Amino acid sequence: MLGQGEPRMEPQARTEQIDLFRFFAHGFDVPSVERFEWLQRPEMSALLQQLWDDLECPGLYPGAGLFTDYDEYESTYVAVFEVGLPAPPVPLQETAHDDSNPTPQTVLENVDFYQVLGLNVDPARFAPDHLVTQLEFLSAVRFIRDNAPDPENRQSLVQLERDFIERHLLNWLPIAEEKLAREGTPIFPVLLTLLLAFLRREYEAIGEESNQPD
């Protein structure tokens, strides 16, 4: 989606210098050797601990853990997120966790948000309601609004971002977080806890920004 290539995410960077929407999208993207090596880098643990403190997550940082090798990383990702009977334990799709609306309605609403910015989903990569797609969309919204010269346009993008976080990500990720915590895998539970803390902080922050006078 969005025509974005591999993000250049350096774990040693300060957290405020990182596009965290893309950082988390990268962490939950499909396995690759490059992604495995990125997750296993020694600097990653320090960055995650810094995020834990910066985002004021409850309790002490639990540590993220490491995979033994690439095969374990790939098989864990597939077993937890992609394959299972009757379904994988923790699918990374909104419609797998939220049954308050019919699946087509939820998917269409995601697409409607994307089309506000003229963005299209590549179905060969991820579904419209997949976590990676949703985070890439939020990254695009943030980039556009940070570079919008028109205050009125910027304000509408602030509201778009807040509405999407509330209606979609905060609607299903807490359920997925509970399920993932029971799986006991390395790194993914910590990543999801950090992502939720980040989204909640952003939701509150842009709520305050939307109430500021022009």
Query: Which residues have a Cβ under 8 Å from the Cβ of 45 and sit 6 or more positions away?
Result: 63, 64
Condensed to tens digits (0 to 9), the pLDDT of residues 132-145 reads 999 999 999 999 98
**What CA–CA distance (Å, rounded) separates 138 from 164?**
8
> What are the helix (H) ranges across 128-210?
131-146, 151-164, 170-181, 188-210
Condensed to tens digits (0 to 9), the pLDDT of residues 69-100 reads 999 999 999 999 999 888 899 999 999 998 88
**CATH code reported for the domain at 15-210:** 1.10.3480.10
Angle, in degrees to the nearest 10, between helices 103-116 and 131-146 = 20
* Whole-number pLDDT of residue 4: 47
Count CA atoms closer than 13 A to 199's CA, side-chain side: 30
Condensed to tens digits (0 to 9), the pLDDT of residues 24-41 reads 999 999 999 999 999 999
157-190 burial code (b ≥16 CB/10 A, e <16):
bbebbbebbeebbebbbeebeebbeeeebbbbbb
Ranges under pLDDT 70 in the chain: 1-17, 209-214
Domain boundaries, the chain: 15-210
pTM (two decimals)? 0.89
**What CA–CA distance (Å, rounded) separates 164 from 141?**
10
